[in-house]
Amino acid sequence: MKVHAHDIGVKLSGHPVLSGVDLDVQPGEVVGLLGPNGSGKSTLLRAIYRAVRPYAGTVHLGDLDVWASSPRAVARRSAVLTQDNPTELELTVLDVVLLGRVPHRTLTGRGHREDTALALDCLAQVGASHLEQRMLPTLSGGERQRVMLARALAQQPKVLLLDEPTNHLDIAHQLDLLALVRRLGVTAIIALHDLTLAAAYCDRLVLLNEGRVVTAGPPEQVLTPERVLSVYGVACDVLVHPRTGRLLLALTQTDTPVKESIA
């Protein structure tokens, strides 16, 4: 499903956070949102999933106008994984994942057996089947993150919105999560801090700074040494990963001397 955000402007407590932001994501595309803290990545995602109302602009999921539609209609098309997951819900993991089926349930409540089968499959996809009967508050941060991703998958979204999804995950699960997102084949928009992960798993990148889009395009066009220095204030050497052929970024402080290689 295509995502189109046009001329988005957002103010928080009267302070401009986004201004004139455009975003176009094609069906099945994985797009990464990059930028330093405060650049507007999370706010742009929130404007797309109806958490923060823009004072200007429009957001469409396919032909659905997000801010002219009900939350239920939006939830039937999109699912969200946020940075801050609830820790106090006294529910089993399976019950938490089943919450993802709420937007699709009818007044009769039919289909519970099918919903349970789907929830179990989603737990398997994220490698969390063994957590099925655990209570949510007993989980580690990484375990909760995988459970919340399973809940998002249970919505069967056509658009997946992920805000720093690798937070709390160890390296192996970071790679597993992003590889899973790619395998799903759904449209995905992911806010990330790790530039190398973004280059490895995203089709295109959108670089934000001070609430505006600096540039957008394939990773090799966006993550140039000059642009990384300008936006992040760090020196960058762009390498090629010896196994994958994707970009590999080596970041250093700007005052770090270049070490000469030994012949």
**pLDDT digits (tens), the chain, 263 positions:** 999 999 999 999 999 999 999 999 999 999 999 999 999 999 999 999 999 999 999 999 999 999 999 999 999 999 999 887 666 778 999 999 999 999 988 655 555 889 999 999 999 999 999 999 999 999 988 899 899 999 999 999 999 999 999 888 889 989 999 999 999 989 999 999 999 999 999 999 999 999 999 999 999 999 999 999 999 999 999 999 999 899 999 999 887 665 544 43
As a whole number of angstroms, the distance between CA 202 and CA 12 comes to 29
Both tokens of residue 170?
Answer: 């160890």
Q: Which two tokens stand for residue 167?
A: 């937070």
147-173 burial, b if ≥16 CB within 10 A, otherwise e? bbbbbbbbbbbbbbbbbbbbbbbeeeb
The pLDDT score that the predictor gives to residue 261 is 42
Q: Give dist(CA 171, CA 5) in Å, integer.
A: 32
Q: What is the largest CA-CA distance in the chain?
A: 75
Amino acid at 133: Q
Q: Is the dihedral of CA 190, 193, 199, 201 positive or negative?
A: negative
- CA-to-CA separations, 202 to 4, 12, 234, in angstroms, rounded: 18, 29, 22
104-105-111-115 Cα dihedral, nearest 10 degrees: 60
pLDDT at 253: 87
Q: Write phi, then psi, for 257 (nearest 5 degrees).
A: -70, 150
Q: Among positive and negative, which fits the CA dihedral 165, 167, 168, 172? A: positive
Q: Is 59 helix (H, G, I), strand (E, B) or coil?
A: strand
Helical ranges in the chain per DSSP H: 41-48, 71-75, 93-98, 112-125, 141-154, 171-184, 195-201, 219-222, 225-232
The confidence score (pLDDT) of residue 254 equals 81
Which CA distances in Å does 118 have to 28, 38, 124, 139?
21, 37, 10, 22
Instruction: Give me 8's structure tokens.
Output: 């988005």
CB neighbourhood size of 257 (10 A): 6
Q: What is the pTM of this model?
A: 0.91
List the structure tokens of 73.
């209609």
Length of the chain: 263
| pLDDT for 262 | 41
